[in-house]
Amino acid sequence: MNTKLLLKYFRWRNQKGLVLILSLVIGLTSGLAAVLLKNTVHYTNDLITHGFDFTQGNYLYLAFPIIGIGITILFATFIVKDDIGHGVSKILYALSRKKGNLKSHNMYSSMIGSTFTIAFGGSMGLEAPIVLTGSSIGSFLGRKFNLSYKTIMVLVGAGATGAIAGIFKAPIAAVVFSLEVLMLDLTMVTVIPLLISAATAATVSYLFLGNGVLFSFDMVEEFKIDHLGYYAGLGVFTGLISLYFTYATMSIEEQMAKLKYKWQRWMIGGILLGILIFIFPSLFGEGYEFMHLLINDQTNGLVNESLFGDFSNIAWLILFLALILVFKVVAMAITGGSGGVGGIFAPSLFMGAISGVLFSKVLKTIPFLSHVPEKNLALVGMAGVMAGVMHAPLTGIFLIAEFTGGYQLFTALIITSVISYLTIMIFEPHGIYTKRLAQKGELMTHHKDRNVLQMMSVNNLIETNFKTINKEASLGDLVKVIAESARNVISVVDDEGIFYGVVFVNDIRNIIFKPELYETTTVESIMYMPDPLVSINESMESVAQKFQDSANYNLPVIDNGKYIGFVSRAKIFSSYRRLLKEFSDE
């Protein structure tokens, strides 16, 4: 047997075993991190809200968000010295552009930041911070063991999977999340580590938190074909709610980002958030307690969650729910835009539950309709909004199925989630996690060729062994440069390095052996500007398209008008083949 092949085989087997062991470790640590974060936020919140009288309202609501977000900003600015928000988008960017490399501080910084933000009333969720924590653990271990990019990507996914499984106690949904949202390939090499991490993290959560990880609903009505229209209608409704969720969030965050100073964003955002929470205390924190009351039809308990009084009148309750639906997104976006740390997972579940209850309450006002399964619609509504906002229908379906302890609602979940997804796709082709990355061409997708191109950088492929000549030079000067050049292209620049064009040696062969033209012919008269040009910051996908559209074998690279070098078809293709092999190696 060939000795080299034998050694390669054993290295492959050893790496496979190492990945499985690391997946177990990642599941254990991410599960423990989820338990720690959930308990830390819970006890911190209990400590600062001890003695609250919800029925009278409490003016501390006006101060808590400012305090919590302020501490978060100080921590991020002076201790971490980095942006610690938008956790899932950071993971997607790292997978697409940084070979899975996440900064080590993300293993703890987002947990600390989200604790101060959410325990003090920030209207976001803990899921994105803990997902970033788990993924950063996976990235850290992958780098420490000098594993390949493809393997690091799997470990990053294992970290995210363990985090979701730990905080929701939903291992199947956690695996689906990594495959659907992080867009990992569906192969045995990928799935087995995800399953190990998910099962380990969920077990850790069971051991430490029992059934109190998030919430569960064991009593649901069975699916009836007569209710098919309700679920279909809810799908359209949640799709439109998801569209509002996405656009309102991005618009508010963009407006707050225009404020020049952090203290301006902090003060304006904190004051606005405090006012919203004072008026609607149900916007305080993640909002799961409010969801419990709502889904279990304990509307009398909602009196303690608002300054508006009794909701015995159905019209007032519908109006109240509609206002909560509108302002939850505003509160969430203000929290993130002002410097708070959190995610949109919990808000999307919150919005989904309210959408389902609101939809059912409206249906109940129509006399001729048959029994409306309100609790089912509330649960299915969660999956609908999640499917629309994240563009992740499978994640929503399996998460709610695991919440309810079975698959009685599976058909309803599929109908609503798919229709919600198709509804928002009419208006918006990207989910909230991926929209900004997609606009910049930095999004990892299931398209393997495109992913490989995104892993490549113009800056790493520039060839600088092309000679240059000043545009004021003569043909005689050019001949001397050609004599010393190993390439058949000469770049033309001025004294400051500004690029003016190129001279192809093949184009001037008929005159370079005529000495009588050396002094009378200038470089400027025989050069030309090639088309197209490449920017040093341009995406490789765009560069590949330029090569495809042109017959050129080399394209000049320009940075703010200055000549840098050339990129060539041959070098790009060679790099592409090498990365594709690494990316596809199983």
Cα–Cα distance, 139 to 207 (Å, whole number): 26
Asked whether residue 262 falls in the same domain as residue 160, the answer is no
Helices (H) and strands (E) counted in the chain, each on its own, are: 23, 6
Least confident of 157-161, 375-379, 418-422: 375-379
pLDDT-derived band at 442 (thresholds 50, 70, 90) equals low
H or E element at residue 12 = helix 3-48
Q: What pLDDT, on the 0 to 100 scale, is given for residue 437?
A: 73
- Residue-number span of the structural domain to which 395 is assigned: 225-443
Q: Are residues 238 and 200 in the same domain?
A: no
Residue 74, Cα to own-chain centre: how many angstroms?
24
Q: Would you say residue 112 lies in a domain?
A: yes
The answer to whether residue 213 scores a pLDDT higher than 70 is no
**Domain-located, residue 217:** no
Contacts of 205-212 with CB under 8 Å at 24 or more apart are 205/31, 205/34, 205/35, 205/165, 205/166, 205/167, 205/169, 206/169, 208/32, 208/35, 209/35, 209/38, 209/39, 209/169, 211/169
Average confidence score pLDDT of the chain: 85
Contact 341, 129 (CB under 8 A): yes
Tokens of 468: 């240059």
Q: Please provide residue 236's backbone torsions phi and psi, each rounded to the nearest 5 degrees.
A: -65, -45
Q: Is 220 a domain residue?
A: no
Q: Which tokens sit at 67?
A: 């305090």
Average the pLDDT over each of 83-97, 448-462, 470-484 and give the range with the smallest value: 448-462
| Cα distances (angstroms) measured from residue 151 to each of 29, 189, 446, 448, 573 | 19, 9, 16, 15, 23
Q: Domain for residue 405, yes or no?
A: yes
**Last residue of a domain, which of 443, 464, 491?**
443
Asked if residue 469 and residue 422 are part of one domain, the reply reads no
pLDDT tens-digit series, residues 20-74: 999 999 999 999 999 999 999 988 888 887 766 555 556 777 888 999 999 999 9
Question: What are the tens digits of pLDDT across the range 362-399?
Answer: 998 888 876 888 888 999 999 999 999 999 999 999 99
> What is the 8-class DSSP label of residue 563?
E
What is the DSSP pairing of strand 489-493 with strand 499-504? antiparallel
pLDDT band at 214 (very low <50, low <70, confident <90, very high): low
Quick one: 315 and 464 in the same domain? no
C-alpha to C-alpha distance for 81 and 133, rounded to whole angstroms? 17
Say if residue 297 is in the same domain as residue 381.
yes
Q: Do 20 and 196 contact (CB within 8 A), yes or no?
A: yes
Q: Are residues 145 and 251 in the same domain?
A: no
- Domain total for the chain? 3
165-179, 201-215, 529-543 — most confident range: 165-179
- Name 88's Cβ contacts closer than 8 Å, sequence gap at least 6: 128, 131, 132, 181, 343, 433
The pLDDT confidence band at residue 235, using thresholds 50, 70 and 90, is: very high
Q: Which among 446, 470, 482 has a CA at the least distance from the CA of 92?
A: 446
Q: Looking at the structure, do residues 200 and 252 belong to the same domain, yes or no?
A: no
pLDDT tier at 165, thresholds 50, 70, 90: very high
The structure tokens listed for 177 are 């999340």
CATH of the domain at 579: 3.10.580.10
541 versus 4: which is more confidently predicted?
A: 541
Q: What is the pLDDT of residues 491-510, one digit of tens each?
A: 999 888 899 989 988 888 88
Beta strands across the sheet bearing 468-470: 468-470, 489-493, 499-504
Residue 381 near residue 359 (C-beta atoms within 8 A): yes
Q: What is the pLDDT of residue 504?
A: 87
| Strands 489-493 vs 468-470: parallel, antiparallel or unpaired | parallel
Partnered with residue 501 across adjacent β-strands are 492
Q: What is the DSSP letter of 76?
A: I
* Confidence band for 305, pLDDT divided at 50, 70 and 90: low
Residue 502 φ then ψ, to 5°: -135, 160
Residue found under tokens 């209207």? 123
Domain check: are 436 and 491 in the same one?
Answer: no
Domain of 98: which CATH number?
A: 1.10.3080.10
**Do 436 and 486 lie in a common domain?**
no
- Return the higher-pLDDT residue of 273 and 531: 273
Q: What is the C-alpha to C-alpha distance for residues 122 and 79, in angstroms, rounded to an integer? A: 21
- Evaluate whether 402 touches 173 at the Cβ level (below 8 Å): yes
> What three-state secondary structure class fits 340?
coil
Q: Report the percentage of the chain scoring pLDDT > 70.
A: 87
- pLDDT at position 569 over 70: yes
- For residue 511, being part of any structural domain is answered with yes
Q: Quote the pTM value.
A: 0.81
Contact 400, 380 (CB under 8 A): yes
**Other CB atoms within 10 A of residue 181 CB:** 23
What burial letters (b/e) apply to 414-424, b meaning 16+ CB within 10 Å? bbbbbbbbebb
Give a yes or no: residue 406 inside a domain. Answer: yes
Same domain, yes or no: 134 and 230: no
Q: Higher pLDDT residue, 525 or 455?
A: 525
> In whole angstroms, what is the distance from residue 54 CA to residue 30 CA?
35
Evaluate whether residue 216 is within a structural domain.
Answer: no
Q: What is the pLDDT, as a whole number, of residue 1?
A: 47
Last residue of a domain, one of 209, 239, 256: 209
Joined tokens for residue 426: 């009419």
Whether 504 and 511 have beta carbons less than 8 Å apart is answered as no
Residues 80 and 144 in one domain: yes
pLDDT above 90 covers a percentage of the chain that reads 40
Q: Give the C-alpha separation, 431 to 380, whole Å.
A: 19
pLDDT of residue 244: 97
Residue 487 lies in a domain: yes
User: Same domain for 271 and 405?
Assistant: yes
Residue 376, exposed/middle/buried by CB under 10 A (0-12, 13-18, 19+)?
Answer: buried
Sheet holding 554-559, edge to edge: 534-535, 554-559, 562-568
Structural domain ending residue among the three candidates 149, 182, 209:
209
Task: Say which range, 84-93, 138-147, 173-182, 398-407, has the weakest mean pLDDT.
Answer: 398-407
pLDDT at 98: 81
Q: What is the pLDDT of residue 586?
A: 47
